Amino acid sequence: MMLTDPTQKYRAFPQVDLPNRQWPSNVITKAPRWLSTDMRDGNQSLIDPMNAEKKRRFFDLLLKVGVKEIEVGFPAAGATEFDFISSLVRDGAIPDDVFPQVLTQARADLIATTFESLRGAKKAIVHVYNAISPAWRNIVFQMERPEIRAIAVNAAKLLRDHAAKQPDTDWHFEYSPETFSTAELDFSLECCEAVMDILQPTLERPLILNLPATVECATPNIYADQIEWICRNISRRDSVVISLHTHNDRGTGVAAAELGIMAGADRVEGCLFGNGERTGNCDLVTVALNMYTQGINPELDFSDIDEVIQTVEYCNQLPVHPRHPYAGELVFTAFSGSHQDAIKKGFAAQEARNDQIWNVPYLPIDPKDLGRDYEAVIRVNSQSGKGGVAWVLQQDKGYKLPKKMQADFSKVVQAFADQSSRELNAADISTAFEEHYCLTDDQPYALIDYQEGGAAGDRIFTGKIAHQGGERSISGRGNGLISSVLAALRDELGVELEIADYSEHAIGAGTNVNAAAYVECRTPDGRTVFGIGTDSDVATASVKAVLSAANGIAVRG
């Protein structure tokens, strides 16, 4: 049972003493170095870890996306990991511009196995870590600070010595003061400085210092303070790469990484879509695309986001949530009527503008940049409005309904959605549209053929229509084609209508296009009825539109 006074059990995380902190005023201006930990951290958190085939498929995906640093595994964990990593080296599967990285605990036997797994590699990063926080020191290890520091120093010496035994490989090193986010900053700095004293990093060959939020225990601003504090106080800042490895225990792994970059970090570790232990790691896709929407090239390519999703879901056997930022099935979808109307108007304004700057309400990114089309941007259910219905018809049929006609048809769709209690797809809406505006076969009046004659201002319509199972010739006179059609309907069939509004447009582009014509008509008793017609000839389309309205009167009374 939750406590009414949580202070009996939990303590607020302490603030960082950081006068004149700079990160809140900083902005991200370029992509960090990226490291994917999918094949190690992500893999060890799966119910069924990836086999060699899935690991290779994931590795190839990361190469295609453009990740240049890939933690390919934990070679000392077992034969499967060791053999896979060795096979990447042996098969020449690692491009020259890609760094494979491997992780090891700070133990002599594990470090030896780790180096052996990479024998023959052109270059590699060996990442060693040891936990340093008070909980680990006091509970897990029952050691004091000097003993913990000695573990880090001994591990650094082993990295140096094993690298010397394989001089043909271009070795790089990474050290993590594990549990950094819950450790004392001065002790984190002490351990990092001690490792630096052994490995002697330089500007040309820097040491990667990974500062992990192993368990996220505070708001992301505190993590940013911790990162800025280290960046300010580390002795050889130009000879180290500050790397972030955030987790999502509080749901702010992405925010912590972004604020950490603002605080001076150079590198971000994480997984595609945030897979990882407990609530997951930093989501590299989200961080990268957040940058992209701010005009920054993330140097990762998610142009086919659905292929990335498909591969990750296959390899991890975990679904990407429908609401996952940028990637989820529903993230570019609006059901709400007001949202749909705003999006529809945004697309229209976007099309009319001369520049390419993206500015569509509710869509922070153009779905087409990620390989998505616009068909799923607006979907219709009982919450939808006229704008959404009009959008679906425009995308599916090319119709651009006048506003009043949108309102008229949205009532039909609303009733259909309420009755069916489900989402309506494009086929549902098109069928309802054709039925309501009498565009299906076997209508009371259907145009077979017609001729138009007379002089300007005095036009004569002579038409042949299908009516009551047969054909009937009708004619009428007016000052234009539409008025002469209305006269023919009135004089020959007793259908009396007057035009309140008319519009037309081309469907598609090019030379072989159809035309759509829309009419808003009034009956003698004041009712409004709408009609639509389409044809390769705009005049014929307008005649069909009038007959559509006439059919509406005949069918619905």
Q: What is the pTM of this model?
A: 0.81
pLDDT in the model for residue 379: 63
Tokens of 224: 């940013």
pLDDT score at 487: 94
Please report how many Cα atoms fall inside a 13 Å half-sphere around the Cα of residue 206, on the Cβ side.
15
Nearest to 312 by CA among 268, 274, 279: 274
- Report the pLDDT value the prediction gives residue 384, as an integer from 0 to 100: 63
pLDDT recorded at residue 418: 83
Q: Any residues with CB less than 8 A from the CB of 405 and at least 6 apart, and which?
A: 518, 520, 530, 532
Place of tokens 């990160």: 23
Q: Is residue 510 packed enough to be buried (19+ CB in 10 Å), middle (13-18) or exposed (0-12)?
A: exposed
- At 534, give phi and psi (nearest 5°): -130, 145
Encoded tokens for 387 = 């704008």
Q: Are 138 and 184 in contact (CB under 8 A)?
A: no
Q: Are 489 and 495 in contact (CB under 8 A)?
A: yes
Mind listing the pLDDT tens digit for each residue in 94-140?
999 999 999 999 999 999 999 999 999 999 999 999 999 999 999 99
pLDDT of residue 117: 97
On the question of pLDDT at 382 being above 60, the answer is no
Residue 356 has pLDDT above 90, yes or no: no
Bridge partners for 154 per DSSP = none
Q: To which residue do tokens 């759509």 refer? A: 516
pLDDT value at 391 more than 90:
no
CB atoms within 10 A of CB 78: 11
Residue 359 has pLDDT above 90, yes or no: yes
Cβ atoms 392, 406 nearer than 8 A: no
How far apart (Å, rounded) are the C-alpha atoms in residues 363 and 200? Answer: 48
Stretch 515-540: mean pLDDT: 93
What are the tens digits of pLDDT across the range 265-296?
999 999 999 999 999 999 999 999 999 999 99
pLDDT tens for each residue of 313-350 = 999 999 999 999 999 988 888 777 778 788 888 888 98
Helix (H, G, I), strand (E, B) or coil at 512: coil
Decide if pLDDT at 386 tops 80.
no
Cβ-based neighbours of 7, under 8 Å, separated by 6 or more: none
Kind and range of the H or E run holding 18: none
